[in-house]
Amino acid sequence: MSGRSLTRQLPILRKVSGLSRELHPPIFLAPLLDSIPQPLHQRSSFSTTATLSVRANKKRDGNPHRGESALRRTGLRYPNGMSKQPLPQPVLDPTKRSKIPVDSDHGLWGFFNKNRKALSTPEDVIGTGRPWTVEELRHKSWEDLHSLWYICCKERNRLATEFKERKRLQFVPQLKGARKRDMTIRQTQAKIKHTLTERWYAWEEARKVAEDDPEVNLKADLDTPAYRPRSFEDEEEVDEQPRAAAAAGPA
């Protein structure tokens, strides 16, 4: 038994001190006498701080944004500083809207049709030419093939965008000429790949021939030239040897 509990039970023992010693309860039964009504008095020091068990809210999860939803437009739970600032109002009248200057030569105009509209007319889609042939592409430079390839990519991107836009607006039926035009562009891209494949094989064969050619230096850099032609005197000496052997005749 601690000293504090004994000190608290001393008044109880004094109340029963008038009894004879034989009627005194044993010391180990003293805690049972604590049920005797005691005068109300403050047992703790004065404090203005609430206990943690009362202050804590066990149902809260600590999320200050609980209950806020942008979809349901519930708004913020607590007002913030921006709520007092005047917000700009949208201009619903198109005639009162300010015009934004747009560059007429902007690169994004390449993803629109020639009229710079969101959708093309049936006349524009039907007027489709033929695809490029391999014979025509063989005479083009690397830069021309590169430019033509990206023109085809932009055109297919524009056709796919218009297809999605017509589907969103529920324009039925879709333009039949758009699929034909897309197929024509894909054929042109296939011919460009064919032309580049031919050039690669031609370059590979030329590289194998250059390995045995003494006038070609495959390990050339900025300081040494790749082509080292022989001098004119060396070529004459090489030509005179077969002539001299032919003039001597058979032995």
User: What is the reported pLDDT for 53?
Assistant: 53
Q: Please tell me the predicted confidence (pLDDT) of residue 36.
A: 54
Q: Domain residues of the chain, as ranges?
A: 118-211
Residue-level pLDDT, tens digit, the chain, 251 residues: 555 555 555 555 555 555 555 566 666 666 666 555 555 555 555 556 555 555 555 666 677 777 777 777 777 666 666 666 778 888 999 888 888 888 888 888 888 888 888 888 777 777 778 899 999 999 999 999 999 999 999 999 998 988 888 888 887 666 677 888 899 999 999 999 999 999 999 999 988 888 888 888 777 777 777 777 876 555 555 555 566 566 665 54
Taking the alpha carbons of 69, 71, 74, 79 in that order, is the dihedral positive or negative? positive
CA–CA distance, 39 with 72 (Å, rounded to integer): 59
* Entry pTM: 0.51
**Of 92, 116, 90, whose CA–CA distance to 103 is shortest?**
116
Which ranges in the chain belong to alpha helices (H)? Answer: 3-15, 52-55, 122-126, 134-137, 142-168, 176-211, 232-248
